[in-house]
Chain A
């Protein structure tokens, strides 16, 4: 493999007066082979060109999560990212993680992220739902999310955290799922009730960014979807998000089609719908109020039979973690 010159365009951030950060972009040239990691090259710059460049790093092996930064428009681990894979015309743009305060250059204040993680009580609790026996398959859900290294890539990209700093966020919710699905946890229902509160599981936009940016294949959104299912199965269904989700199978059984006309009322209730009339007026102006009586699809009775069959004899379709085997 031949080496080439790469331009690193790095966002420099200097703390100013309390709560402010002065930012500018600075360029560095480095010689590297395409499979050199971004972390190696940041160290090259720090060691040989500019000792003031500040960034976090530790293990170099994608296991400590310290070096998560925004590289080429996505939050990634610098130690796991090859320069050749992210350079555009030889240029690599680097800035700090998003959605948390910047301290200096590429280092951020990670406390908001960890306060969410601590908020979900990341430990087993004693209680009535604690299983007496632990079977060999009991960890196939727990193992789905225990790969998380708390690097914060998902929180940095989270589209809901961006507009709502109170949102618990993907990593903490994946961690919560780890405890909800652990047979030894005693307070599963209480957890699910807490997680269904505002800024919890029902605020995820399902944009799927957390799934794609996770360097450890934790797929946090899949864990959030499973938390919603578990909550609904326990009858925790008073939030707007839960009511909205519940409308779907009712409609599919009745006509096969979503009834958009009554969907809003079922989600928000009458008062909520009236408050939503700003939107209704906009739609009405364009003749866009949907019919309250959608046509039934052909063979809707088949859908009812499928539904009843599965209510009678449920099938477990949850994705399972592969059995862990020592390498």
Chain B
């Protein structure tokens, strides 16, 4: 079975967190997952657009989903907030026929193909752990983590609200990110804070609080023995990575927990080069930890 998706990396992966996009593409190439470009897709608007222009937000999401539908492919993303925004809109548009009709009328009037409500929105992490044949995945992991202790930082917007993510969290097998860590040969460290907030969405308005959040979560992981942290979200990456050194000053404690996108660590276990995965763009250098297990 060929896995092919309409690929929606999100604004952060196109700009500040470009390395997550590079890693996603490299990993998908290895696994034979096709990522098809969506040239018309705009920013999803995040929760911000839902706040300022709620109807426009639904129309923008419908236009993105419609592009995937026209391609005949489900949509895949690597940003939790894009995932939540598009899943939330898709949930409403699929369950409220009158709403879909009204939004489609706006699309049609603006020269956009109406949305038929047939697209599934997925995280690339779910595709890798749920849909790629586990033997294929294991065969590709040529440089396993050898028991490396990895903190999974799940990221709010791929697990909540349960109402819209039921299909994703409805397994007894534990969070996708922890399952992936085990598949890569690592140990998923259990720690308080793994399902809490990075603070990204109040980064500019409540700076001090965001620093405290980042520090608390990273320290909790570190104290539980984590050697590296991974997230499935380009926004969590930005906080746990680039804000971590600033947060250290706020809480006056050294943290120094290397943090990276899940696709970057997965890529390393597949033997993909550090350069292709953008490892040098990380704020806390993971090379000392990774070289101890022959990974970098």
Range class of the B interface residue count: 35 or more
Which of B15, B45, B281 has most A Cβ within 10 Å? B15
Q: Are B56 and A310 in contact (CB under 8 A)?
A: yes
Given contacts A163-B212, A305-B109, contact A249 B54 (CB under 8 A): no
Say how far A44's CB is from chain B's closest CB, in angstroms.
Answer: 28
**Which residues 174-222 in B have Cβ within 8 Å of A in the complex?**
192, 196-197, 199, 201-202, 204-207, 209, 212-213, 216
Contact A229 B54 (CB under 8 A): yes
Does B55 sit within 8 A of A, measured CB to CB?
yes
Tell me if B205 and A267 are in contact (CB < 8 A): yes
Residues A248 and B204 in contact in the complex (CB < 8 Å), given A260-B11, A260-B15, A305-B111 = no
Interface residue from A205, A256, A298, A307 paired with B199 (Cβ < 8 Å): A205
Comparing A10-18, A176-184, A288-296, the segment that makes contact with chain B is A288-296
What is the chain A residue whose CB lies nearest that of B217? A159
Are the CB atoms of A302 and B161 closer together than 8 Å?
no
Q: Are A310 and B53 also in contact (CB < 8 A) when A303-B63, A317-B58 are? A: yes
> When the two chains form their complex, are residues B51 and A160 in contact, meaning their CB atoms are under 8 A apart?
no
Bound CA–CA A290/B12 (angstroms): 9
How many Å lie between the Cα of A291 and that of B14 in the bound state? 10
Q: Is the interface of A mostly helix, strand, loop or mixed?
A: helix
**A206, B47: Cβ atoms closer than 8 Å:** yes
Q: Which A202-260 residues have C-beta < 8 A from chain B? A: 202-209, 211-212, 219, 225, 228-229, 232, 239-241, 244-249, 251-252, 256-258, 260
Interface string of B241-282 (1 = CB under 8 A from A): 011011000000000000000000000000000000000111
Which of B23-31, B34-42, B123-131, B139-147 lies at the interface with chain A?
A: B34-42
Contact of B60 among A209, A232, A252, A298 (CB under 8 A): A252
Tell me the bound Cα distance from A37 to B54 in angstroms: 41
Q: Which residues of B contact A286 (CB under 8 A)?
A: 242, 280-283
- Contact indicator B60/A303 (Cβ below 8 Å): yes
A248 and B52 within 8 A (CB): yes
Closest to B43 in A: A258
CB distance from B39 to the nearest CB of A (A): 4
Listed stretches A23-31, A119-127, A274-282; interface member: A274-282
A302 touches B52 (CB 8 A): no
Q: How far is the CA of A276 from the CA of B210 in the complex (A)?
A: 13
Closest to A281 in B: B246
List 28 contacting pairs A-B, 8 Å CB cutoff, sorted by A: A205-B213, A207-B197, A209-B196, A211-B160, A212-B161, A219-B161, A232-B52, A240-B205, A244-B205, A245-B51, A245-B52, A256-B43, A257-B43, A258-B15, A260-B15, A267-B204, A282-B283, A286-B242, A286-B280, A288-B281, A298-B40, A299-B40, A302-B63, A303-B63, A303-B110, A314-B55, A317-B99, A317-B103
**Interface residues, chain A, with chain B CB atoms under 8 Å away:** 73, 159-160, 162-164, 202-209, 211-212, 219, 225, 228-229, 232, 239-241, 244-249, 251-252, 256-258, 260, 264, 267-268, 272, 276, 278-279, 282-283, 286-288, 290-291, 294, 297-300, 302-303, 305-307, 309-310, 314-319
